[in-house]
Amino acid sequence: MDFLFASIVDGLLLGFVYGIAAMGLTLIWGVMNVINLAHGPIIALGMFGVYLIFTMLGLNPYIGIVLVAVLGLLLGMLIYYVAVHRVINAPHLSTLLATFSINMIIIGLGTAVFSASPRNVDFSLGSITLGPITLLGSRVVAAIASMLITGGLYAFLYKTRQGRYIRAVANNRDAAELMGVPSTQILALSFGLGTMLAAVAGALIATFFPFTILAGGVYELKSFVIGVLGGLGNPVGALFGGLILGVLEGIIPTFMPTTWVPVLEFVLFVLILLVRPQGIFGAKK
Amino acid sequence: MNGIRKYLGLILALFVVLAMAAWPMIDGKDITREVVFTMLLSVALASSLNILLGYTGYVSFGHVVFFGLGGYVGFYLMAVQDWSLWSAMLAGGLASAVLAFLLGKAILRLRGGYFALATIGINEAVRAFINNFDLFGGPVGMSLNFQVYQNYGGGAREALWMSFYVLIALTLLTVTLSYFVRSSKFGLGLLAIREDEDAAEVMGVIAPNAKTWAYVLSAVFPGILGVLFFFKNGNIEPAPAFRLHLSIEMIVMVMLGGQGTVLGPILGGAGYQRLRGFLLTNPLFKNIQLAVAGVLLLVIVLFVPAGVVGWVRQRFPKLRRVLQ
């Protein structure tokens, strides 16, 4: 019983970070109906960002994450202007392939520079023992950081002018333009925010798991599952979806071999798409 | 004379495939045969995908699931049940067709991005399942006994040449299927669905059935090709069989050549593999071949969305009769 409880708590902590990654994906989908296939490599870039800042500059990884966030935002805006803007109104295939070409470019350059060998950020925060369960410090901090980021995103979307613009563009781009919202800048900003969330999630994951340049692919697929669970386009749904997935990953291995986890995840994913494509929590737009 | 003119598009397409196929037969080198094997495989896969992607307008991101599943079913029959390659290929194609039929009814209701996501999910679910499925060897997969190849021409080298001839026949069949789907009334219904599904239904196209059959037709040959590919390979494992990257490469090939045309996937598949081979062997691009391919893809998506054949058709309307 203690073991089950410990797995659930561990899964919850991890789920917060999954939630942040999925939030990045779902924000972009919600605002511009684009599935960002460069999501995984950007997560991997976040991992390498914090790794490089830690090993080359010797900075504390949590300061590194702030830097990674800023770079992620800028990278996302750059990707938007270069690859997405021209095809934003084209059929789905175009945006899927445009973002996939970014995926290929990042992975291609990344493997050339970093090779595919595994890295890790050698930084420990120790662990906390609460009764029967022991928690890794880095995971607790990651979960807290994820909550703060979610809160920050909400404050931004609901309390600032830019945030209101984003919601207006998500709701109806044409009408927002007529009201004088600079829609191109807002779309670029949204894409930047989505990329920033992905990079930060990668950076947080790097503080407790080893990784390679290809590691983002797994989290990209997880983000799809979570995004659909919570309803594509719904950031808070993504956080809850992340928690659900984290708990599932914690519980399932206690009574089944771990290798069955992805089977159940993807079956669940396809079933939700079929039965309730708006997600468990419904897309709020 | 009129008959030839009518089928000019098909004749040209088949001629291009045959010209590629003739290359290793003329120079007789094993290395050329391997290069052309990859090209023809890509042509056949891209032409199959084109039935769904180009004609019907549904973006399947997980089409490799049919290649992998067909391959697995056929390989199991050959390695464990001692079936011949021929019956195993039929069984592999059938397995993929059945899977497509069952899935088609369910997931083809989804549109746009949701359909694409569902196909990714299905590929990953099947891969994860096969990884745990002991009958198919789980994560280690299965291997063929080397003796098997003696039944196909005497030795491993003869069996490789035989696989190549079989692939030529399969590629020609796929291209012919693609042509006849496009020029049939059924194909016209698919094109209508691509342009506007609701309007197509109003005009009397029974969209759910038409889409399902397009899905089945686009799945059959990948299944058969999977059996042939893994027969030649000698072993099968979950990761190479359900490689999501191959799915996306198939889409790139279709886009490169021109989606919705018969000739496009042929040129796209062959061209993509030639380019990839060039980048992989070129000392300058060897390490960044993926990035170079990515830049190229981006340029095509942004500036030539109709692909090579589509672009030529737009520029030179007179060639439309030939370039189908």
- Does the beta carbon of A277 lie under 8 angstroms from any beta carbon of chain B? yes
- B224 within some domain: yes
| Average pLDDT of chain A to the nearest whole number | 88
- B278 within some domain: yes
**Looking at the 3D structure of chain B, how many domains does it have?**
1
Q: Tell me the shortest Cα–Cα distance from B251 to chain A, in angstroms.
A: 8
**Nearest residue of B to residue A262, measured between CA atoms:** B128
* Strand boundaries in A194-278, DSSP class E: none
In the block, tokens 């992998």 appear at B68
In the block, tokens 């590691």 appear at A215
Nearest to A273 among B61, B118, B290 (CB): B118
State the pLDDT at residue A23: 94
Distance CA B223, CA B100 (A): 10
CA atoms within 13 A on the CB side of B30: 5
Please list every residue in chain B whose beta carbon sits closer than 8 Å to the beta carbon of residue A265.
128
- B148 within some domain: yes
Nearest to A266 among B113, B124, B291 (CB): B124
Please name which of B243, B239, B233, B245 lies closest in space to residue B141, comparing C-alpha atoms. B239
Helices H / strands E in chain B, number of each: 15, 2
Of B147 and A240, more confident: A240
State the pLDDT at residue B276: 87
State the pLDDT at residue B256: 87
- Does the beta carbon of B251 lie under 8 angstroms from any beta carbon of chain A? yes
What is the average pLDDT across B292-310? 87
CA distances from A86 to A45, A98, B93 (A): 25, 10, 40
**Nearest residue of A to residue B300, measured between CA atoms:** A98
CATH code for residues A2-275: 1.10.3470
What CATH number does the domain containing B302 carry? 1.10.3470
Please list every residue in chain A whose beta carbon sits closer than 8 Å to the beta carbon of residue B125.
262-263, 266-267, 269-270
State the pLDDT at residue A61: 85
Of A153 and B306, more confident: A153
What is the average pLDDT across A139-147? 90
Q: Say which residues have a Cβ less than 8 Å from residue A32's Cβ, sequence separation at least 6.
A: A84, A88, A169, A170, A187, A190, A191
Whether A239 and A152 have beta carbons less than 8 Å apart is answered as: no
- Does the beta carbon of B239 lie under 8 angstroms from any beta carbon of chain A? no
Give per-residue pLDDT as tens, B31-64.
899 999 999 999 999 999 999 999 998 988 889 9
What is the average pLDDT across A109-121? 86
- Does the beta carbon of A219 lie under 8 angstroms from any beta carbon of chain B? no
How does strand B142-143 pair with strand B235-236?
Answer: antiparallel
* pLDDT band at B150; cut points 50, 70, 90: confident
Contact yes or no for B125 and A29 at CB 8 A: no
Contact yes or no for A104 and B113 at CB 8 A: no
Distance CA A136, CA A128 (A): 6
State the pLDDT at residue B68: 96
What is the average pLDDT across B249-255? 89
What is the average pLDDT across A179-185? 90
**Two tokens, residue A173:** 């781009």
Backbone angles phi, psi at B204, to 5 degrees: 105, 5
State the pLDDT at residue A277: 76
State the pLDDT at residue A282: 62
A82, pLDDT greater than 60: yes
Nearest to B125 among A94, A97, A267 (CB): A267
State the pLDDT at residue A165: 93
A285, pLDDT greater than 50: no
State the pLDDT at residue B279: 85
- For A249-267, b/e burial (b = at least 16 CB within 10 A) is bbebeeeeeeebbbbbbbb
Q: Tell me the shortest Cα–Cα distance from A203 to chain B, in angstroms.
A: 23
- B2 within some domain: no
Least confident stretch, A10-19, B152-161, B181-190:
B152-161
State the pLDDT at residue A117: 83
What is the average pLDDT across A91-111? 89
Say what angle helices A261-275 and B113-131 make with each other, to 10 degrees. Answer: 150
Q: Tell me the shortest Cα–Cα distance from B85 to chain A, in angstroms.
A: 30
What is the average pLDDT across A204-212? 90
Q: How far is CA A139 from the centre of its chain?
A: 16
**Two tokens, residue B323:** 């370039």
Least confident stretch, A40-49, B90-99, B281-290:
B281-290
Distance CA B175, CA B167 (A): 12
Q: Tell me the shortest Cα–Cα distance from B247 to chain A, in angstroms.
A: 12
Whether A63 and A179 have beta carbons less than 8 Å apart is answered as: no
Whether B251 and B53 have beta carbons less than 8 Å apart is answered as: yes
* pLDDT band at A284; cut points 50, 70, 90: very low
State the pLDDT at residue A219: 92
Of A121 and B241, more confident: B241
Query: Domain range spanning residue B154?
Result: 8-321
